[in-house]
Structure 1
Amino acid sequence: MPKSLKNSITLLLIMALLSSCGKKKNEIESKIITKVSVKTVDATSQPEIFSYSGTIEADNTVSLGFSVSGRVNNVAIQEGQHVSKGQLLASIETEEYQSAYTIANASLEQAADNFKRLDLLYTKGSLPQRDHITAKITLEQAKANSSIALKRLKDTKIYAPFTGIITAKFIERGASAAPGVPAFTIMKTDNVYAKASINENEIGTIKIGIPAQIKIASLDQNFNGKVTIINPSADAATRTFDVKVLLNNSKGVLLPGMISDIKIETGRMTQAITIPATAVIRDADDINYVFIASEKQAVRKRISLGNFKGNEVIVTKGLNNGDKVIINGQRNLKDGQEISF
């Protein structure tokens, strides 16, 4: 027999042997019977809670600047600094405005003295009404000029209008300031919002004042708030409605841009199936599934999850009343594998 033919026959025999071994191995695996525990599920009445992913937003952001011109002689804060309401942020030189106020105040005193004297004469009938009116107008003009000069003097300083964070600084000491040119941007943070985008199927159940719980994973903290703003107009691109939950942030730990998990309680009850969270398996594609027992076989079922309730989780899709969910022994199961109870 030729050597090449012998080699071919040998190779075929080896392949047949390997195939036979593989089949036997699969047969052995398929005959492995795993003992499991199951829970028969039925929908029960649960509070309706919607979950969303959202972000933290500032209550308000404004630009601040001088309403008078001059040279900056003091910048009291830096970008990123927390400031309190009424805190001095910056100032410009005051000599020009102080002089103007002093002159205006002197003119006011003179006009007041003159009017007092002429008013006495008018009362006695010794002064024409026209002169009395002129003196009164002069006094009112002097009062207005003094008020304007005082305001311009006060406008040489910028104060924080509310407690917040300086998010931008555009001036330096020695620079020239001018009206209408921003000097700072300040973000109001003593209260913040958690914003969620809600689809049209759910927006009708969300009402102003209903409670919400916000979880910030980066802080590992939960915060309670209430729905305070519902945008009645949907976003043109996403067709979702913006809803904002007001949160107290007196400690300043909530920063705009943080990712938040938002749970909003609608106040209604709904029928829902719950299972132990440990029964849920997540695969490499982030798909959640469970095994159910069907005629002594484990059947894999893909599910969608809702909110957690203690050690259990609500299943929003994938299970039916009466399904026997495997809650112990499911970790190493395969679809179709034999099981026992």
Structure 2
Amino acid sequence: MRRSLFYFTLIAILIFSSCRHKETQTSENASQPLAVKAEEVHPTTISGEVSVSGNIDGNTTVKLGFMVGGKINYISNNEGDNISKGQLIASLDPTNYSIAKRQADVQVSTASDEFDRLKILHERGSLSESDFSKIGFNLQQAKLQQQLQQKNLSDTRLYSTISGVLLKRQAEVGEIVSVGSPLFIVSDISKVKVLAYVPEGELHEIRIDQTANISISSLGRTFTGKVIEVGSTADATSRAFTIKIGIENPGLVIRPGMIAEARIATNSNKQVILLPAESIQQDQANQSFVFVVDKAQNKAFRRRVSLGNMVDNKIEIVSGLSEKELVVTGGQKRLSDGSLITITK
């Protein structure tokens, strides 16, 4: 019994000693400073620019529909096809309109014969002036009705008013359509426009013919354009102004609906804080932060920052840092808030 108690006490002492040894090692490791690289923050002068995003729209976009109602019997193209100005896009069954036109022709013939017959009587003095005038009005009315029916018959054929691309086809053969319904959308995309909004505080930086660099991520390409229009009235909700940037579109690779990022260079310069992209991290809340060095304590503390544009492979820090602060630019992945550090060159 005594021997068992002795062994139990010995094992407990050994376990306690081992734990104390591990705690001492952990405490010693935690107190070891981590080697990092740091960079002092200094403002950099860059050329001012206004960055906006917007949607691509065609240079000219038209919605086409029939001036008369009826049943569609022909459609020439599918969405995405090229369309020429004056090309027949669709037509309606003309049967009813052809019949109405022939009826109008008959009425004109009848009225003309009646007019010619009564004209002779009028010249002989056998017909009063008022009665002869009524016959003349009847003939004019018949001719006008003939013109109207001819126009209705012609309007059963729908032609494109511009050259471009068929963006939308909103009808099918056999479908009955009403007067004026927009059935086809054609857009001229030999040139395209970026429609974007500029905050009122930056509107004074924008002017007509200003050069803009347009980046379209879906194409992986950058294009050069010019500001062609600056809105004169702000949106009531966003207080932003509409601008339009024109872009040449060789090869018609840019299509309406694509998203574009535009950077418009201005004449003004500004002082900004720039940091290497790798020094900026994201937390679980998707907030950007950096580690700022406290020289007195030789520690690094986490600081949230607001980001701006990318400039020469560095990121603009809009807020969160001040001039001459020391920011960790290397070894920051191993740090936690308040880590003890040593700065290496």
1:73 is aligned to 2:77: no
TM (norm. structure 1) is 0.71
**Structure 1: which 5+ runs fail to align?**
none
Give the secondary-structure state (helix, strand or coil) at the position aligned to 1:234: coil
Tell me the distance in 2 between the aligned counterparts of 1:136 and 1:208. Answer: 62
Q: Offset of 1:7 from its aligned partner? A: 3.8
1:21 is aligned to 2:25: yes
| Bigger shift: residues 179-188 or 156-165 | 179-188
Give the secondary-structure state (helix, strand or coil) at the position aligned to 2:179: coil
Q: Give the 3 Å change call, closer, same or farther, for CA 94–43 of structure 1 in structure 2.
A: same
The question of whether the paired residues in 1 share the 8 Å contact of 2:196 and 2:242 is answered with yes
Q: Offset of 1:302 from its aligned partner? A: 3.8
Aligned position for 1:281: 280
TM (norm. structure 2) is 0.71
Q: Offset of 1:148 from its aligned partner? A: 0.9
Aligned position for 2:160: 160
Tell me the distance in 1 between the aligned counterparts of 2:316 and 2:241. Answer: 25
Aligned position for 1:92: 92
Aligned position for 1:44: 45
Q: Offset of 1:18 from its aligned partner? A: 1.2
Aligned position for 1:269: 268
Tell me the distance in 2 between the aligned counterparts of 1:89 and 1:6. Answer: 99
The question of whether the paired residues in 1 share the 8 Å contact of 2:214 and 2:261 is answered with yes
The question of whether the paired residues in 1 share the 8 Å contact of 2:38 and 2:343 is answered with no
Q: Give the 3 Å change call, closer, same or farther, for CA 183–233 of structure 1 in structure 2.
A: closer
Amino acid paired to 1:171: E
Give the secondary-structure state (helix, strand or coil) at the position aligned to 2:74: strand
Matched ranges for 1:284-295 at <5 A:
285=284, 286-290=286-290, 295=295
1:151 is aligned to 2:151: yes
Q: Give the 3 Å change call, closer, same or farther, for CA 54–192 of structure 1 in structure 2.
A: same
Identity of aligned residues (%): 24
Give the secondary-structure state (helix, strand or coil) at the position aligned to 2:234: coil
Tell me the distance in 2 between the aligned counterparts of 1:6 and 1:177. Answer: 98
Amino acid paired to 2:214: I
Tell me the distance in 1 between the aligned counterparts of 2:262 and 2:13. Answer: 68
Tell me the distance in 1 between the aligned counterparts of 2:231 and 2:119. Answer: 58
The question of whether the paired residues in 2 share the 8 Å contact of 1:214 and 1:263 is answered with yes
Aligned position for 1:304: 306
Q: Offset of 1:69 from its aligned partner? A: 4.1
Q: Offset of 1:15 from its aligned partner? A: 1.6
The question of whether the paired residues in 2 share the 8 Å contact of 1:234 and 1:240 is answered with yes
Aligned position for 2:217: 217
Amino acid paired to 1:26: A
Tell me the distance in 2 between the aligned counterparts of 1:119 and 1:318. Answer: 97
The question of whether the paired residues in 2 share the 8 Å contact of 1:279 and 1:326 is answered with no
Amino acid paired to 1:260: A
Q: Give the 3 Å change call, closer, same or farther, for CA 15–112 of structure 1 in structure 2.
A: farther
Tell me the distance in 2 between the aligned counterparts of 1:270 and 1:122. Answer: 90
RMSD: 4.5
The question of whether the paired residues in 2 share the 8 Å contact of 1:214 and 1:225 is answered with no
Q: Give the 3 Å change call, closer, same or farther, for CA 242–120 of structure 1 in structure 2.
A: farther
User: What is the CA deviation profile of residues 203-241 of structure 1, one whole-angstrom value per residue up to 9, with x for unaligned ones?
Assistant: 654656355443221211224242544652333xxx453
The question of whether the paired residues in 1 share the 8 Å contact of 2:57 and 2:194 is answered with yes
Q: Offset of 1:141 from its aligned partner? A: 2.7
Aligned position for 1:171: 172
Matched ranges for 1:313-332 at <5 A:
313-323=315-325, 329=330
Q: Offset of 1:288 from its aligned partner? A: 3.9
The question of whether the paired residues in 2 share the 8 Å contact of 1:298 and 1:339 is answered with no
Tell me the distance in 2 between the aligned counterparts of 1:308 and 1:119. Answer: 88
1:245 is aligned to 2:244: yes
Tell me the distance in 2 between the aligned counterparts of 1:8 and 1:159. Answer: 97
Q: Give the 3 Å change call, closer, same or farther, for CA 171–26 of structure 1 in structure 2.
A: same
Give the secondary-structure state (helix, strand or coil) at the position aligned to 2:19: helix
Amino acid paired to 2:158: I
Q: Give the 3 Å change call, closer, same or farther, for CA 107–149 of structure 1 in structure 2.
A: same
Equivalent residues, number: 329
Tell me the distance in 1 between the aligned counterparts of 2:221 and 2:120. Answer: 73
The question of whether the paired residues in 1 share the 8 Å contact of 2:275 and 2:317 is answered with no
